[in-house]
A and B are shown apart, each in its own frame.
Chain A
């Protein structure tokens, strides 16, 4: 959910009311989607290639029962969150360091953009060479993916800070650090959050991609393993589990954001 959507949701007159209905519509939409899939599986689609919601549900139930799902989810979760925390921290800090000077920002900008253009997944083999097949390369890949999104978002937030507020504080006698703390940081915070919310799914992408190349645990390993056994339901089950976790985390981030920006 973008900042604009959050704003619109909060400013709508019948906010709470329409909000509840939206959840109902979402549940209906999901049910219809799954129902169509279930009905089509067999008569229209070959269950071997496309599986079906019931088969996927059965696999998920089996994995949950045996603890396989929790184990692998936890591994991926750990990699992603660790990478996310490191990547986001460095992204925000570096953005503020670079953003504090106009010349520095304009010097570094094209280089960062060039590196940003490289698909992060393409770095996975490199990280596996450097860090082996344990947790480290996944954390690094997740971290790098998050870093760039947070860094860019924060930097553009800093570049858009209303200079009139900066001037107002300067004439009141504020030094540069106070201006950073009092104006630049709070003004850039919505952009930091946009970066975090964009970065979180990409963190999962990074971790899962690295798992698929070399690992013995995690959702990426689980999909790869299921695909190796031509178990379509297993592949879908692993992806669904990942989708649910990402959606829940993003919703949590969104709730935190709404609380943080309640002044709007």
Chain B
């Protein structure tokens, strides 16, 4: 069994290595100018993410994790260097990605059902197919029975599910997730992580997942990168050796977890107050 798993993993890895680069940052720098001076968030930032890879980014707060995602989404432009996605340079808003942001961006005047249908409306999907896909997706993320609710009546976890559904429904080949489960309680976090892994397994999308939770990063990702303090570069690039499929509540007991955890923890820098972030 173990041998078979190892063999599968080796095959998978070699297959992944031959996969083309899905996302590429080349010598990217980003400087924010404001009245109070300039802030250099990224300098000579280089990163390649292969197709189908699950990458997690951790780092101290203010280390440009969200900037990396915004650059990929085309909501921000690099000061120097170039970002490409699916072998095309990102120059404007990148609609080939699904971006699950940290903050709530559901439209409060639409019901859950209508919110999830928005991306399909934008793509002019015919109404019968639209409602069928919306119904499937709502069941997929466990929101059945809440179709007609407005976001103001949902709990934080349900809103996250609705946002996840809205992101997945148009099947973007690449997913960007910015601390999507950050403010949720531990139990709910595990449930949603498990669902995310299941959906990722089924679809094989490329995922870039920003988190401040090292355990979450190891649990989910193929590879975890640690960003340094500003101006950020990659301080550690750690391949996660824990085999898949993974059980979210079991990963922390898997052999190798502790080593990964120690190395990642050690790489995250102290801030000026002497606290890890």
Contacts of B123 in A (CB 8 A): 173
Quick one: which of B74, B105, B170 contacts A168, CB cutoff 8 A? B105
A173 lies within 8 A of B118 (CB): no
Q: Mark B79-106, 1 if CB is under 8 A from A, else 0.
A: 0000000000000011101110101010
Q: Which of A81-89, A107-115, A178-186, A208-216 contacts the other chain? A: A178-186
A170 lies within 8 A of B93 (CB): yes
User: Within the complex, what minimum Cβ distance (angstroms) separates B216 from chain A?
Assistant: 23
Quick one: which of A167, A178, A263 contacts B105, CB cutoff 8 A? A167
Quick one: which of A168, A178, A264 contacts B99, CB cutoff 8 A? A168
Answer yes or no: B256 CB below 8 A from chain A CBs: no
Q: Mark A152-168, 1 if CB is under 8 A from B, else 0.
A: 00000000001011011
Answer yes or no: A126 CB below 8 A from chain B CBs: no
A164 lies within 8 A of B108 (CB): no
A152 to B98, CA, bound (A): 36
A186 to B115, CA, bound (A): 13
B119 lies within 8 A of A172 (CB): yes
Answer yes or no: A58 CB below 8 A from chain B CBs: no
User: Within the complex, what minimum Cβ distance (angstroms) separates B180 from chain A?
Assistant: 13
Contacts of B118 in A (CB 8 A): 169, 172, 182
Answer yes or no: A174 CB below 8 A from chain B CBs: yes
Answer yes or no: B107 CB below 8 A from chain A CBs: yes
A263 lies within 8 A of B109 (CB): yes
A95 to B263, CA, bound (A): 56
Query: Which range holds the interface residue count of chain A?
Result: 10 to 19
Answer yes or no: A229 CB below 8 A from chain B CBs: no
A263 lies within 8 A of B95 (CB): no
User: Within the complex, what minimum Cβ distance (angstroms) separates B10 from chain A?
Assistant: 36
A172 lies within 8 A of B150 (CB): no
Answer yes or no: A171 CB below 8 A from chain B CBs: yes
Answer yes or no: B201 CB below 8 A from chain A CBs: no
Answer yes or no: B12 CB below 8 A from chain A CBs: no
B109 lies within 8 A of A171 (CB): no
Residue among A164, A172, A173 facing the most chain B CB atoms (10 A cut-off) = A172
Q: A178-B122, A263-B150 are in contact. Are A171 and B99 (CB under 8 A)?
A: yes
A128 to B123, CA, bound (A): 53
9 CB contacts below 8 A, A to B, read A164-B103, A165-B107, A172-B118, A172-B122, A186-B107, A261-B109, A263-B108, A263-B152, A264-B108
Residues of B within 8 A of A (CB): 73-75, 93-95, 97-99, 101, 103, 105, 107-110, 118-119, 122-123, 150, 152, 166, 170
In the A-B complex, the 3 residue pairs with the smallest Cβ-Cβ separation, listed nearest first, are: A173-B95, A168-B105, A172-B119
